Amino acid sequence: MKDLVMYSRTTPCPFVTLARRVLNNEHVPYRELFIDQDKTIEQRVLNWTGFLSVPTLVVAMAGEDLPYEEPAPLPKSASPRGVNRGSMLTEPNEEQLLNWLIQHEFIHAEG
């Protein structure tokens, strides 16, 4: 079993709002961790993305907070926005998020 974990922040962010909307509309359960409430969580996102990019979504083993497999690397200083890194996706648009959720079988493709 795998869990969906969304690294987020408590202050308003359009990408976080979009991700919450999609996850709620698709009835995908997720746990949310806030980078502005825990320095360890903040440092994780910085290490993974090179930025404080939220949401950063990860597929984790049940009960865990870390990706179940090492995410694909990003080119140095490249934006992580919308890049499918396997077990991780950061700042996706709606289509990118839906495709990633299908890939990891949190939802099923229509049709």
Please state the pTM of the whole predicted model: 0.95
- Give the mean pLDDT of the chain: 96
- Residue 88: name the closest of 79, 76, 97 by CA: 97
Q: Where are the domains of the chain?
A: 2-103
- Domain range 2-103, CATH architecture: 3-Layer(aba) Sandwich (3.40)
Tell me the H-state helices in 1-111. 14-25, 39-49, 94-103
The predicted-structure confidence for 57-79, as pLDDT tens digits, reads as follows 999 999 999 999 999 999 888 89
Instruction: Please state, in angstroms and rounded to a whole number, the distance separating the CA atoms of residues 5 and 57.
Output: 6
- Average pLDDT of 89-97? 98
Per-residue pLDDT, 18:
98
pLDDT at 54 over 80: yes
